[in-house]
């Protein structure tokens, strides 16, 4: 082998070594880049998965909250309907009282609502027809203790039950409907406490 061949062979050998070293370095860098890209992809997938889980949890929470609200509204609506029905049945039970009990109740109501003045008491047409014969006398005995005097009027009022007190053109509606309406909130609270004492 000549000196030139040896030099060429050394150059080729050095070139091969340099090329191999460069290739090995490039392979190592490529492997490092691939590993890094794979790690980043895994991290990004995990981050996307965490965000998706968080969003799913938030959506689930909102759905549960909305369902709970709808349930509370439905329960409240059912309670309010039941309370209204109970109050209405209580009022209806007054109309269904036997005649003697009904007019005893009317006397008690007159004592409660009649001011110490002279006036008239007016009934519905149906109640006016069925008044006991001695009702006016019993009425004045009942209200007389508080300085009141009431005459049963020949006129009637379009009411459902109870009566209307009249004093010189000023009327006080003591019909069952008016009294129940005036105390509706109080009655609803009482029925709510009695029926739904636990909540």
Q: Considering only CA atoms, which of 106, 102, 114, 104 is closest in space to residue 143?
A: 114
> What is the b/e burial string over 62-98, where b = at least 16 CB atoms within 10 angstroms of the residue's CB?
eeeeeeeeeeeeeeeeebeeebeebbeeebeebeeee
- Looking at the structure, tell me whether residues 19 and 82 fall in a common domain: yes
CB-side neighbour CA atoms (13 Å) of 192: 14
- Looking at the structure, tell me whether residues 81 and 110 fall in a common domain: no
Q: What is the pLDDT of residues 168-191, one digit of tens each?
A: 889 999 999 999 999 888 888 888
pTM of the model: 0.64
- Looking at the structure, tell me whether residues 89 and 12 fall in a common domain: yes
- Looking at the structure, tell me whether residues 92 and 1 fall in a common domain: yes
- Looking at the structure, tell me whether residues 109 and 182 fall in a common domain: yes
Residue 35: the pLDDT is 83
- Looking at the structure, tell me whether residues 7 and 52 fall in a common domain: yes
- Looking at the structure, tell me whether residues 141 and 87 fall in a common domain: no
- Looking at the structure, tell me whether residues 79 and 154 fall in a common domain: no
- Looking at the structure, tell me whether residues 65 and 111 fall in a common domain: no
Q: Which residues of the chain have pLDDT under 50?
A: none
- Residue 132's domain is classified under what CATH number? 3.30.2320.30
- Looking at the structure, tell me whether residues 128 and 171 fall in a common domain: yes
Report the number of distinct structural domains present in the chain.
2
Residue 171: the pLDDT is 93
Q: What is the pLDDT of residues 137-146, one digit of tens each?
A: 999 999 998 8
Report the C-alpha gap between 100 and 63 in whole angstroms: 58
Residue 189: the pLDDT is 87
Residue 16 in tokens: 């091969």
- Looking at the structure, tell me whether residues 71 and 84 fall in a common domain: yes
Quote the domain boundaries for residue 155.
98-195
């Amino acid at each position: 082998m000549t000196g030139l061949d040896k030099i060429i062979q050394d150059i080729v050998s050095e070139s091969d070594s340099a090329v191999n070293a460069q290739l090995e370095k490039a392979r190592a860098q490529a492997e490092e880049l691939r590993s890094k890209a794979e790690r980043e992809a895994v991290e990004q997938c995990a981050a996307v998965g965490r965000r998706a889980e968080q969003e799913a949890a938030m959506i689930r929470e909102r759905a549960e909250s909305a369902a709970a609200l709808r349930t509370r509204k439905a329960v409240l609506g059912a309670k309010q309907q039941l309370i209204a029905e109970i109050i209405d049945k209580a009022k209806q039970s007054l109309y269904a009282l036997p005649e003697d009990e009904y007019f005893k109740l009317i006397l008690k109501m007159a004592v409660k609502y009649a001011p110490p003045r002279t006036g008239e008491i007016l009934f519905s047409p149906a109640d006016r027809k069925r008044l006991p014969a001695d009702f006016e006398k019993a009425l004045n005995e009942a209200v007389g203790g508080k300085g009141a005097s009431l005459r049963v009027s020949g006129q009637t009022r379009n009411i459902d039950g109870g009566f209307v007190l009249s004093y010189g053109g000023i009327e006080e509606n003591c019909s069952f409907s008016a009294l129940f309406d005036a105390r509706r909130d109080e009655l609803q609270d009482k029925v709510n406490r009695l029926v739904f004492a636990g909540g």
